[in-house]
Structure 1
Amino acid sequence: MFKWIIQDKLAQAPMPSLSELAYIRRVFDAVIVLTMPHEQPLSERYVDMLESHGFQVLHVPTPDYHPLELFDLLRTSIFIDENLRESRRVLVHCMGGIGRSGLVTTAYLIYKGYDLYSALKHVRTTVPGAVENKGQALMLENYYNLVNSFGQELLRNYGKIIFALNDPQAVLHASKTTQFTIELLNNLSMENTLSRGLLTQSLLHFHDQKIQSKLKELFKDLEFSSSAERLLSFTHTLDIFQDGRVVLTIYDSSQSKVDLTVLCKWDCEKIVEISATKKNIIEEIMGKEVYISWANYLDYV
């Protein structure tokens, strides 16, 4: 039914049946639900059913075969950590208990200090095939780079500020901007100071002035630069409509050019058109011409 990732503390599983909930409640205190409403018994009432059994529930609806959003991985890591600190056992489930669930449990191990390879090996030893496609693996790599850049404590404090916003669209936009910044940095040769400054500015990408003020205080020891601001204007454009349609960006670099493929849930022609007006920013740094196109994410994986 379920498999322990951290013995007697954290487990992952396929979707439980309603008849299994009473047994699961005897073992677990908290549940992370990753399924979309149409996958769940009782649809949107499923979460209410779990809460009526006494579970603490975090619902992060994520389409099958897709990765969780970058900041949703942070949210799940904080949720798991806070429950384990209170000696509460946590179950993570999606539909099959492999892809989305494996992404969350592996991300938590990274949050606690595992390197990317060790975390993935640990989870796959228990759940063969966990983190089941390239898209999920790439998002896990993004999360590793985020945690490796800032550490658990700073990200926990950051998460508490932004998740208290109760503004899902603003959080998603900052998440996408940060994700696209990480994916860009993976393909640029930049000094560590400039890279961290750019990544920090992406984390501050909120329009709410009170939130910005709190976040700047959190990151007060870091320096910013005009170069970082220019690059951020490009990654921001990849989520210009703030709807999260771009799942991942893939850079393929040769000696003479860079092909940037934007992997999308639906039509991204307009995003390609708008981002092409900003591509000179990264062309100057890479010293190569950049060609931007889009493709369907599910065709990629």
Structure 2
Amino acid sequence: MGTGGLFLRRLRAKVSEEPTGFVWIEKGRLAASGYPASRSQIEWLRKKGVGVILTLTEKPLPDELKEGFGISFEHVPMKDHEPPSEESLEQAAKSIESGLGSGKMILVHCLAGQGRTGCALAAYLVDAGKVGADEAIRELRKIKPEFIEGSQEEAVRRFCP
């Protein structure tokens, strides 16, 4: 995780309760954002109804951000700006499916809420049988054009033939 990017998110968290780049993927069920860098941002997510936060950065969210909200926190580490492994995509897709299956609203995030987040969302959409890989990439980019970096597209296609 880049220290510069994390510093900027923590600075932004001092003036905004909404995490950077928050978007709905499935309204009221599945959302994406950049790194929620403060307790006030976690509280904002809780008020929106988020019951599970799936973190895709190399390190999990710090304990001081997670305590006392009644939210489940899951962590699937993925390296920034690199294609994720099939194993990590599978784990992320299953985490999303499990949370949604239990009726909880889920937020998926990495640092910027773009590359790794988009890959995990695409893996979920394909694994759940909603769409194929190329359609998942296309549909996610309609929501947020920065989803899934070019170098990560092939990993999504390999995971989701």
The two structures have a TM-score, normalised by structure 2, of: 0.78
- Equivalent-residue separation in structure 2 for 1:8 and 1:33 (angstroms): 19
Paired position in structure 2 for 1:70: 86
Paired position in structure 1 for 2:144: 127
Paired position in structure 2 for 1:31: 53
Kindly tell me: are residues 79 and 116 of structure 1, through their superposed partners in 2, closer, same or farther at Cα, counting changes over 3 Å?
Answer: same
- Equivalent-residue separation in structure 2 for 1:67 and 1:51 (angstroms): 31
Paired position in structure 2 for 1:10: 30
Paired position in structure 1 for 2:105: 89
Instruction: Name stretches of at least 5 consecutive residues in structure 2 with no aligned partner.
Output: 1-18
Kept in 2, the 8 Å contact 1:3–1:12? The answer is: yes
Kept in 2, the 8 Å contact 1:12–1:101? The answer is: yes
- How far off its partner does 1:82 sit? 1.5
Question: Which structure is higher in helix share?
Answer: 1
Identity among equivalent positions (%) equals: 27
Paired position in structure 2 for 1:153: none
- How far off its partner does 1:16 sit? 1.4
User: Structure 1, residues 256-285: CA drift from partner, whole Å, max 9, x if none?
Assistant: xxxxxxxxxxxxxxxxxxxxxxxxxxxxxx
Kindly tell me: are residues 108 and 47 of structure 1, through their superposed partners in 2, closer, same or farther at Cα, counting changes over 3 Å?
Answer: farther
The two structures have a TM-score, normalised by structure 1, of: 0.43
Instruction: Name stretches of at least 5 consecutive residues in structure 1 with no aligned partner.
Output: 38-43, 146-301
Kindly tell me: are residues 68 and 53 of structure 1, through their superposed partners in 2, closer, same or farther at Cα, counting changes over 3 Å?
Answer: farther
- How far off its partner does 1:51 sit? 4.9
User: Structure 1, residues 189-246: CA drift from partner, whole Å, max 9, x if none?
Assistant: xxxxxxxxxxxxxxxxxxxxxxxxxxxxxxxxxxxxxxxxxxxxxxxxxxxxxxxxxx
- How far off its partner does 1:33 sit? 0.4
- Equivalent-residue separation in structure 2 for 1:104 and 1:45 (angstroms): 17
Instruction: Compare relative contact order (CA 8 Å, sep 6+) and give the higher one, 1 or 2.
Output: 2
- How far off its partner does 1:6 sit? 1.3
Kindly tell me: are residues 66 and 12 of structure 1, through their superposed partners in 2, closer, same or farther at Cα, counting changes over 3 Å?
Answer: same
- Equivalent-residue separation in structure 2 for 1:45 and 1:73 (angstroms): 19
Structural RMSD (CA): 1.7
Helix, strand or coil for the counterpart of 1:24? helix
Paired position in structure 2 for 1:141: 157
Give 4+ residue runs of structure 1 displaced > 4 Å after superposition.
none
